[in-house]
Amino acid sequence: MKIDPDNKADLSAQIAEAIREEIMAGRLIVDERLPSEAELADHFEVSRPTVREALKRLAAQSLIRTARGAFGGAFVNRLSYPEAYGQHITTSTLLLSMNAISFDVACEARYALERACTPLAAERRTPDMLATMRAEIHRQGQPGLTDESFCASDVTFHRALVDSADNPVLSYQLAGAVEAMQPLMNMITFTARSREAIVGFHTRIADALERHEADAAQTALSELEAYTLTLGRDVMAARARPRKPA
């Protein structure tokens, strides 16, 4: 780890990249301690603040963690699921919100991925997960619920559906697709009738999973997708129309 040519880019970025590659390649393993900031500064022939900026970059990606005090320092961090979830959700959300992704495209991706989980979920769903889904369905039927709370409950329901597949890698990958849709969904006004319809779909999905019927669950999911699409399209059409209606 001593590559630093006559590059023009920021030194801190180069140093961060050099260390990152060491970690990605497995040459720095989990919980291994990096040299101290002073030693790194000496090694790369830069000042300590520059090294620190590089380390902060790595810390922001959860690649390292730091500890103060004697025998402290920077350590290669074991990327935990919560950390990975958080980063994935952040990235996915920003990607969708900043790139004018159409509601249709995001919706299609989300439901396609969720359907992928359904066969596994139908096979492995636990009473616990079913109870979570039922609870959220019940919450979604409450009259006083705000649109935002309804959306949040919707996310919780779908996450339970995904988690029912009992595959942490799948849950991780899906987290981005499901959570990133929330800002888009939050723009929708859920009327009493549309809520009723959605609760109906959710109930069909939960029922199907309970009976281990993957196909029925997939069908319900597809119909929910189609229904969501119509709700979203109305919103997007209204948004595209700048002339405000009185």
Give the footprint of DNA on this chain (CB under 7 A). 8, 10-12, 34, 36-38, 45-50, 52-53, 55, 66-74
> Which listed range, 82-90, 125-133, 134-142, 191-199, lies at the site for its own copies (CB under 8 A)?
82-90
Question: Alpha-carbon distance 140 to 157, whole Å?
Answer: 10
SS3 32: coil
Q: Does 91 bind its own copies (CB under 8 A)?
A: yes
Q: Which does 5 bind (CB under 5 to 8 A by kind): its own copies, DNA, none?
A: none
Which secondary structure element, helix H or strand E, spans residue 52, and what is its range? Answer: helix 48-60
117 belongs to the binding site for its own copies (CB under 8 A): yes
Q: How far is the CB of 109 from DNA (least distance, A)?
A: 35
Find the binding residues for its own copies in span 132-191 (CB under 8 A).
Answer: 165, 167-170, 172-174, 176-177
Per CB under 8 A, the list member of 18, 84, 214, 216 interacting with its own copies is 84
DSSP assignments along 153-197, one per residue: HHHHHHHHHHHTT--HHHHHHHHHHHHHTHHHHTTS---HHHHHH
Contacts of 221 (CB under 8 A, 6+ apart): 111, 114, 115, 118, 201, 205
Q: Which does 36 bind (CB under 5 to 8 A by kind): DNA, its own copies, none?
A: DNA
234 binds, among DNA, its own copies, none (CB under 5 to 8 A by kind): none
DSSP helix/strand/coil, 5 = coil
Q: Which residue has the tokens 């590089």?
A: 54
The first and second tokens of residue 130, run together, are 């079913």
Q: Which is closer to DNA, CB of 61 or CB of 219?
A: 61
Q: Whats the size of the chain, residue-wise?
A: 246
Closest CA to 181 of 87, 83, 111: 111
Q: How far apart are CA 16 and CA 44, in angstroms?
A: 11
Check if the beta carbon of residue 101 is closer than 8 Å to that of residue 95. yes
| Site map (CB under 8 A) of its own copies, residues 3-42, x = contact | ---------xx--x---x--xx-x---x------------
73, interface contact from DNA, its own copies, none, CB < 5-8 Å by kind? DNA
Q: Which of 67, 112, 226, 238 binds its own copies (CB under 8 A)?
A: 112
Measured distance CA(98)–CA(194) in Å, rounded: 28
Where on the chain is the footprint of its own copies (CB under 8 A)? 12-13, 16, 20, 23-24, 26, 30, 49, 52-54, 56-61, 63, 78-81, 84, 87-88, 90-99, 101, 105-106, 108-110, 112-113, 115-117, 119-120, 165, 167-170, 172-174, 176-177
